[in-house]
Amino acid sequence: MMHNVTWPIIIAVYLFIAGVGVASFYTGMLANLFSGGRYEKMAKYGSYIAVPSIIFGLLMLIADLGRPLFFWHFVLTFRPTSTMSLGTWLLTVFTITCGIYMLTWLAEEEFARSLPILPMFAGKMGLRKICGLIALPFSFGIAGYTGVLLASTSAALWNSTSYLGLLFLISATSTGMAALMLVYIWKEGDLDVIKKLAKADLIVIIFEVIVLIMLLASLKSNAPQAASVILSGSYAVFFWLGIVVVGLLLPFAVEIYELLTARGHVVPKLTIPALAGLSVLVGGFLMRYVILYAGQV
């Protein structure tokens, strides 16, 4: 059954942070798995981004509900036909399994030796692999879940297209790669890995543009008034300038420049991927902001 919904700005922030977190996790996890263990640092950094992001997002969500017991009701009662119940369980299982996965990495940091309990997770490679593999499908589910939740409402912008879940998943993947890129710029300065992340993000951006066009075409056909709110109405500036220019065209252009001018940079070599990463994050947040709020107009 469809229902009306009105969400405040805190929900847009939560959706953005959760998407960045889970996508950072599955990007690092998959890169390490398919490379035969060559990207362990990326997997580690992905978990370091994911767990705090999800926990912070959950706290924001509980604070917005204003009734913590309401949240625990969803945790303790699983209803597969309820999108809210499904989302709560996705978050709960992911937080637990990815949390243990992160602890196995954290326990190997130098500072962990002097801490209580944490050293017991050191060297637990089997536990790390099991928890990582369990968390992986849940991370994909969380990344695309918002689109499913929005589609269950009565808002024309949300329920008139079947591409919302896919768009949120692809957008989250791009922001997760951007977050990892920025962490590598800050911690490692490993230009080779940064360029590989930029190349992968370039491909993801192309898919994001394709899905966004498909979504807008679907909206113009099924809910033209809802489409006009985004394309020429009160959210047009955020869409065209924020999402299209800053979030898609700018990182696409600077990542192409980075890949085509590998040597002889006029600007410092890490400035360009940093600009791309930041613009992707800005565009990713505005994507959620515009879709969430234009749907409530």
**Contact in structure between 207 and 170 (CB atoms under 8 Å):** yes
Q: Taking the domain 9-294, which CATH number applies?
A: 1.20.1630.10
Contact 56, 39 (CB under 8 A): no
Rg of the chain on CA atoms, in Å: 20
| 196-238 pLDDT tens trace | 999 999 999 999 999 999 999 999 998 888 889 899 988 999 9
What confidence category does residue 74 fall into, taking pLDDT thresholds of 50, 70 and 90?
Answer: low
In the chain, what are the domain boundaries? 9-294
Is a pLDDT exceeding 50 seen at residue 184?
Answer: yes
Give the number of other Cβ atoms within 10 Å of residue 54's Cβ: 25
pLDDT at 266: 45
End-to-end CA distance of the chain: 21
Q: pTM to 2 decimals?
A: 0.88
Q: What are the start-end ranges of the H helices in 77-190?
A: 83-106, 125-151, 156-159, 164-187
Query: 73 to each of 86, 170, 172, how far by Cα in Å?
Result: 12, 31, 28
The 10s digit of each residue's pLDDT in 272-293 is 888 999 999 999 999 999 998 8
